[in-house]
Amino acid sequence: MFLGQKRILVTGGAGFLGSHLCTHLLNEGHEVLCVDNFFTGTRGNIASLIGNERFELLRHDITFPLFVEVDEIYNLACPASPIHYQLDPVQTTKTSVLGAINTLGLAKRLKIPIMQASTSEVYGDPILHPQPESYWGNVNPVGPRSCYDEGKRCAETLFFDYHRQHKLKIKVARIFNTYGPFMRPDDGRVVSNFICQALLGREITVFGDGSQTRSFCFVTDLIDGFVRLMNSPVHLTGPINLGNPAEFSVGELAKKVITMTGSKSRIVTRPLPQDDPKQRQPDITLARQQLGWEPVVSLEQGLILTIAYFENLLKERGTKALA
């Protein structure tokens, strides 16, 4: 290995965020071991990395122990969109909880740092707005989203218990809505849904009256936050919010996508899903102070790149991309 080069494990490395992280780490000169069971990740996301001599792909389900030799671990393995994590809710909880246990056990054996990709969903449908890391949340433990929300909350608990009990070097990032190239067109997330519906001239489906808010972070900004957190001093364990504090209503986003795509699609409304949060906005004071991090890509800039990605994808696959 070259001086400063690390061998880094990325679980969920063929997913939306994982593939961007793998690319970033390779560009920094590291070796990357990408582990994925391809439940939601795709080989297409990492196709450009396969020929890189510093990139290795291993098909593996993180709910089973993994025995490898690495210097750092980024634990991103878990379906993140409601459509996918509700498809097999028991497996979703297992992925969060058993996946945390297995990656933490590996980090403990190797005595290496490990970062958990947690989520703003740990705040549930928040009463406090915006959401600081000190907020304990408002989570339904028995609803259809609970497999993801509570699975991630339990994973955070495990990370901090390993830190206190075994002195493990941990980092916990709470991810807010993130978008960009390599999102799946069928993942049901608001940005990918709206763009694909607009490009295909279909009705744009807004759940609720469109007044619920989200804060959209472009993927390259988020990955920069991941790496800064991993490389921060040992005592900075997190949890730390990573997201864009610029808040937009879902209705505003739908209109913006229609304008930017030149679509003739019309907006239709559907009932709001159970436990869907009404507001979502990160307080990123800690990220600014402790990591010197804040997003730099505006929603307009990010949407231009994301729309271009989906335009190319739809040209290649046609409407089958949404099947």
**Per the domain annotation, does 316 fall within a domain?**
no
Q: Which of 69-83, 201-215, 272-286 has the lowest mean pLDDT?
A: 272-286
d(CA 146, CA 77): 17
SS3 6: coil
DSSP string, 84-97: HHTTSHHHHHHHHH
Task: Please give the residue that has the higher pLDDT: either 2 or 285.
Answer: 285
- Three-state secondary-structure class, residue 301: helix
Q: Does 1 have pLDDT greater than 80?
A: no
Give yes or no for a contact between 290 and 172, defined as CB atoms under 8 angstroms apart. no
Residue 14 lies in a domain: yes
Spatial CA neighbour of 132 closest among 219, 243, 277: 243
Has residue 321 got a pLDDT over 90?
A: no
Residue 236 sits in a domain whose CATH number is 3.40.50.720
298-306: average pLDDT: 96
The boundaries of the domain holding residue 121 are 7-176+219-243+279-296
Average pLDDT, whole number, for the chain? 93
CA-CA distance, 212 to 260, in Å (whole number)?
21
Structure confidence at residue 222 (pLDDT): 98
φ and ψ of 142, to 5 deg: -130, 20
Domain count, the chain: 1
Average pLDDT over residues 70-97: 92
Q: Give the active site residues.
A: 148
Flag whether pLDDT at 272 surpasses 80. Answer: no
Quick check: 202 pLDDT over 60? yes
pLDDT at 323 over 50: no
